[in-house]
A = this chain, B = another copy of it.
Amino acid sequence: MREILAQFARITENAGFLKVTPEFMPKYNAFYAQSGGVTAVINASACGVIETARANRDSIGKVFAGKNGIIGALKEELIDTSRESAAAIAGLRSTPSGAFGSCRYKLKSFAENEREYRRLIEVFQAHDVRYFFYNGGGDSQDTANKVSHLGDQLGYSLTCIGIPKTVDNDLPLTDTCPGFGSVAKYVAISTREAALDVASMCETSTKVFILEVMGRHAGWIAAAGALAQEAPGDAPHIILLPEVPFAKARFLSRVREVVREKGYCVIVVSEGAQYRDGSFVADAGSKDAFGHSQLGGVAPTIARMIKEKHGYKYHWAVADYLQRAARHIASRTDVEQAYAVGQAAVEFALAGRDKIMPTIVRTSDSPYRWKIGAAPLARVANVERKMPKSFISKDGFGITARARRYLLPLIAGEDYPAYRDGLPCYVRLKNQLVAKKLRPFKIR
């Protein structure tokens, strides 16, 4: 009945026939969850969702957030975001990581685990949830899509909107993924800074500096290191991408060339750098004295190669979580886009659109202009976008002008958080759970 009323209200309102007063307008709740590895700006998307929902109180009820992502929905652990002050929600815009908790939990295929999909619908039904916003990468868009179709099958009307997020920048159909621009900015700035350090010391000390960055399958993040260059020949001198098979001899001779010419060599390497046979450079078969595989780090691995061959003094850094949590130097463009896709998700849902993901559409490189678009979830799910060949320089150690044109706007602008006592003020929410209504559910 409520559904029919809502539909009626929408039709009549859209047609301009009559204004339904808020009291008669049925309001459904929304469920929002963060999924997978967090970013410096995923909370900005959450902020966009919640603030936009609050601005549309007439049409949408509460926003419940999954405690630790989709697991929160399965366990019926729903955070009532209406308990948070407007200031706390606004603070999400400048707080890194996932404020409600995230998880690496991929629902299996529908055939394998119908039970979990059904449980989601059951929980949504129990809490009057008719809007499902899932903030994550390719897997999450896939899940959202499946849940949506199950709703249809069961006759439970559920509006499912994916919200893009991933530092890996590997979602299709969107110009970029919120989260990536800020990592790119961090990597570009860190490379520029560390390169100045090495340059000033190379006469008597370190000759080679290696920065290891994320990107297990695609080299987007490592490629962003190239933005540190002000002129051709500037550091970083070598970028190692997963897309280009690692050729040890050629790499080592390039390092020597650079050191001879410049006095030092700065290298940015993707954690996913790999040999032609697909084995990771970081797993190059070396074991420690106890027979364990050498722990992590493609950076120390290639540092050793260089030391063995050329004897150069080296330093290396592994940025790891620092790069994706570095809200202190987030890209303003990225923050704005992260907020915008959160906002658009709610607006799309309220406009009756379903099974889509808001995307970033670039309308101009310079000056950079973008707008929000939409892509069907079915076409986003499980597609991985690698760096195009046209973005990789001929020698495989750098990027092209085209790649630079693409990347540069994504790191534009700063968006500093507020500081207190020399440290950024990041919000912590109360995260109060809604009372459970269902029996417990065991996650297998």
Contacts and interface: CB of A to CB of B under 8 A. Distances in A.
Copies in the assembly, this chain: 2
Nearest to A185: B422
B322 A320 contact: no
A98 interface: yes
A370 interface: no
Contact of A325 (B101, B193, B421): B193
Report which residue of A194, A321, A324, A421 has the largest number of chain B beta carbons within 10 angstroms of its beta carbon.
A321
Contact of A328 (B193, B209, B325): B193
Contacts of A203: 68, 71, 101, 103
B413 A414 contact: no
A352 interface: no
A200 B98 contact: yes
Contacts of A98: 200-201
A423 B296 CA distance: 30
A304 interface: yes
A260 interface: no
Interface residues of A, number: 79
Interface stretch (A155-163, A240-248, A286-294): A286-294
A204 B426 contact: no
A326 interface: yes
A408 B320 CA distance: 26
A38 B317 CA distance: 16
Interface in A399-444: 408, 411-414, 416, 419, 421-424, 426
Nearest to A295: B300
B413 A416 contact: no
A36 to B, nearest CB: 9
Contact of A209 (B40, B100, B285, B321): B321
Given A185-B422, A197-B325, A413-B422, A204 B315 contact: no
A192 interface: yes
A412 B422 contact: yes
A312 interface: no
A202 B49 CA distance: 24
A223 B303 CA distance: 28
A322 B317 contact: yes
A319 B317 contact: yes
A317 B212 CA distance: 10
A265 interface: no
A321 B315 contact: yes
A304 B318 contact: no
A168 B153 CA distance: 65
A204 B304 contact: no
B294 A189 contact: no
A267 B333 CA distance: 32
A37 B196 CA distance: 12
Interface in A303-335: 303-304, 315-322, 324-329, 331, 333
Nearest to A184: B422
Contacts of A422: 185, 188, 227, 331, 333, 408, 411-414
A105 interface: yes
A178 interface: no
B329 A328 contact: yes
The 10 closest A-B pairs by CB, nearest first: A411-B422, A317-B320, A98-B200, A97-B196, A193-B325, A103-B204, A68-B203, A197-B325, A286-B288, A295-B300
5 contacts: A97-B200, A98-B201, A198-B321, A227-B423, A285-B289
Given A68-B204, A300-B300, 4 more contacts: A193-B322, A198-B321, A288-B294, A411-B423
